[in-house]
Amino acid sequence: MTTFPTSLGTSDADSISLLGQDLAHDLMGRVSFGELAFWLLTQRQPTPGETRVFEAVLIGLADHGFTPTAIAARLTYLSAPDAVQGAVAAGLLGGGSRFLGVTEDTGRFLGDVLADAADTPDGLPAIEDEAAWDALALRAVTDCGAAGRFVPGLGHPVHKVGDPRTPRLIGIAHEAGTYGTHLALFEAIGRVHEQVLGKRLPLNGAGVSGAALADLGLPPELLRATVLLARCAGLIGHIAEEMRRPVANSIYLTVDRNARYVAPGEPG
């Protein structure tokens, strides 16, 4: 018979297996959800330090207020309260280049810079060589500006001076022993970008999360998936709050009752 190989979950009449472990006896009550999520993504059990950083990222990205993704989830729940999965899905579908996707964009950007540097005769600097990281970061930011591209992970619409998640996550990575080349380069970008851009921007929480996850060995293709895992919890929280203290109808009415017709081509 045809078989379908998997390294994830299987079951029979008497047991459930997940990741090669007995789900009921080896995993339930023994590992945290964050540890299990990392294990599922990477196919390896994380160290305690890796679990700490991974779960810190999940907490930092779970919710950030009335963002477009949260509003989308609440409005969808208003329209279809019988299908909570649709409300969660509506919020997750908004995870793109402006919201949630920055984590992936930053991880990819840092990874590309590091890969190019590793191919040079000098290779990558030692982690503690701050001056060498600054030089590498300065070249990367300069090249980005010359190409007319934004440096991902810089700037935040609310935290104009500093994102409180960034130094905390960097500190946790140091404490957990997971601080690596992606975070070293990201911090260097924070130190030198003003020389190129002419203004100082904060390193945002989404960007530092991408750097921290990349240092844990997660591939770029899974960075946004990790953000969506975190934001799923936040969206469920918004829906639960919408049930208790609804605001979606007020949002809808505010827009609908203030809609004003303008002829095509006329300024709004």
pLDDT in tens, 56-105: 999 999 998 999 999 999 999 999 999 999 999 999 998 877 778 899 99
- Rounded to whole angstroms, the Cα distance separating 115 from 135 reads 16
| CB contact at 8 A, 191 and 137 | yes
Residue 239 has pLDDT above 80, yes or no: yes
Q: Does residue 154 fall inside a structural domain?
A: yes
**Domain-embedded: residue 21:** no
The total number of structural domains that make up the chain = 1
Strand order in the sheet with 16-18: 9-11, 16-18, 21-22
Selection from 230, 228, 241 nearest residue 77 by Cα: 241
* pLDDT at 97 (0 to 100): 76
Q: Answer yes or no: is 230 within a domain.
A: no
pLDDT at 92: 95
Q: What is the pLDDT of residue 159?
A: 86
Domain of residue 128, residue span: 102-216
Helix axes 102-118, 181-197, angle to 10 degrees: 100
The pLDDT assigned to 98 comes to: 76
**Residues contacting residue 100 through CB under 8 Å, at least 6 positions apart:** 61, 69, 94, 206, 224, 227, 228, 231
Please indicate, yes or no, if residue 145 is contained in any of the structural domains.
Answer: yes
Looking at the domain assignment, is residue 155 inside a domain?
A: yes
Residue 59: predicted pLDDT: 97
**Is 146 a member of any domain?**
yes
In-domain check, residue 92: no
CATH number of the domain to which 172 belongs: 1.10.230.10
Q: How confident is the model at residue 267 (pLDDT cuts 50, 70, 90)?
A: confident
Residue 95 inside a domain? The answer is: no
Q: Give the pLDDT score at 96.
A: 79
Residue 268: the pLDDT is 77
**% the chain with pLDDT above 90:** 91
What is the pLDDT averaged over residues 183-196?
Answer: 97
The residue ranking higher by pLDDT, 96 or 204, is 204
Kindly report the three-state secondary structure assignment for every residue of 121-152. CCCCCCCCCHHHHHHHHHHHHHHHHHCCCCCC
Q: Is the pLDDT assigned to residue 158 strictly greater than 90?
A: no
